[in-house]
Copies of this chain bind each other. A is one copy, B any other.
Amino acid sequence: MNSIDLIVRGGTIYAADGHYRADIAVKDERIVAIGHAELFPRARTEVDATGLCVLPGLWHTHCHFREPGHTDKEDFTSGTRAAAAGGITFCIDMTNNTPHPSTLEDFQMKLGIAREKACVDFGLYGAGLYPDQIGKLAGAGAIGIKVFNTRHIKEVYPYISELGVLNHGLLYEIYEAVADTGLICSVHHDDPDWCRRMTFREYINVGKTENRHYMEAYEKGYMYGHGMVAGLAASLYYADLAGVSLYVLHLGVMPPGAYEMIRHAKVELGQEVYAELEISTALMTRKQAEKVGPCTYVWAYSPETAWDSLESGVTDVIVGEHAPHTVAEMEPGWKDNFSVPLGITGAQEFIPLMLTQVNNGTLRLEDLVWYCSESPARIFGVYPRKGTISIDADADFTIVDMNRRKILTGADMYTKSRTTSWEGMEVTGMPVYTIVRGEVVMRDGQILAQPGFGRFLPGKAASGA
């Protein structure tokens, strides 16, 4: 047994609580030793990480890879290639597909596709719609249950409409069922009745529908800001009553009231609630949004509150949502932005954007390890299998060069549309190796893994963890 597969040599290893110089030995997909490489046996492969930072494989917890049903927008191969290029070793895919994975059969069908096409490891949300299916989805390996407590105000986004759970009785029964599985329940909160009334009254009914009008409505919290907070308010109460662990999605596009509600529930009441902050919204400016044109979820209402939420314990996971559409779908938004679907790109851009913030001193690389690796791995119940560089953990590494500069541009993107919401922004700090279970899947922007290499990681209910 004393030959090994991979040595990562010369790097600085990062954990959530510090960093140190050491080399890493990998065998049979797992980390088998950490220390001075001189002591290790020879390896099949060596990665020279001299001058680089070696992070536990980073997660992207909010991917819409659009398969099955909408592969014109994205698919598991294009999406996970973008992720790999962006330094991501593990993706969690959302549920607004056609058909949506709300039944055992549809979940398994989707899993079959993903297994054949993914280039990095992945987990799948089960779609929370039918209380009696929740247990089956958990048994089939769902990593969590996603609920759309929303509906598009003009119903132009039908595969979300189908998944919309607005009736609080139904929502509660889903919470009860998820509580029984021990999984977390991730919810996109909303209050479409309110948003609809406000936007129709002040915009749509009076013919103000252009991109710039939409931006104005967004700024007022009509699309969808305040509605999301009101939805959250009731949901927090029901989640607590049902005993489910609530995982709040889309913090970042919610007004400050949402942060306070979560803080109150977590810190003062001791409720088990987690929050996923779309931290990239704190970097999106109105100017950038207007430049790239039709879009929906855009900038943070209060970037300061967003950043503060890292300090205050409100935020548990950070991400830059990846929700791509075709150019053709988005283009009409210049004239009627109220009728285009929700979208932004992020799988490939998220980590470079964050590394830039690390260089700016906004957060530390250790924080990135916490929010994008250890913390989600703990919340989703797969730590220390993933989420850490330690003995017997999966050999997933994101190796970054903190000095490399790049300008984000559509031509470099692996997402199907070859566009980016971050067009033209310069980043400092780039992932240079993405290593999954000991295999280099990305080196210097080149994807080396084949579709199907990525492996499905079942949630804790299925794995018995």
Contacts and interface: CB of A to CB of B under 8 A. Distances in A.
Contact of A229 (B36, B197, B237): B237
Contact of A39 (B25, B227, B241): B25
A268 to B, nearest CB: 8
B36 A32 contact: yes
Given A33-B40, A35-B34, A198 B226 contact: no
B35 A31 contact: yes
Closest 4 CB pairs of A and B: A169-B197, A33-B35, A233-B233, A22-B391
Nearest to A197: B169
A197 B33 contact: no
Contacts of A195: 169
Copies in the complex: 4
Contacts of A133: none
A257 B172 CA distance: 17
Interface in A181-205: 191, 193-198
A286 interface: no
Chain A interface extent, by class: 35 or more
Nearest to A229: B237
A21 interface: yes
A311 to B, nearest CB: 12
B391 A21 contact: yes
Contact of A193 (B36, B41, B169): B169
Interface in A346-361: none
B193 A20 contact: no
A2 B39 CA distance: 5
A20 B390 contact: yes
A234 interface: yes
Given A197-B172, A198-B169, A260-B269, A191 B33 contact: no
A267 to B, nearest CB: 12
A310 interface: no
Contacts of A169: 193-198
Given A32-B36, A34-B33, A170 B197 contact: yes
Given A20-B390, A21-B391, A33-B33, 8 more contacts: A1-B36, A22-B391, A22-B392, A33-B36, A33-B39, A33-B40, A172-B197, A230-B234
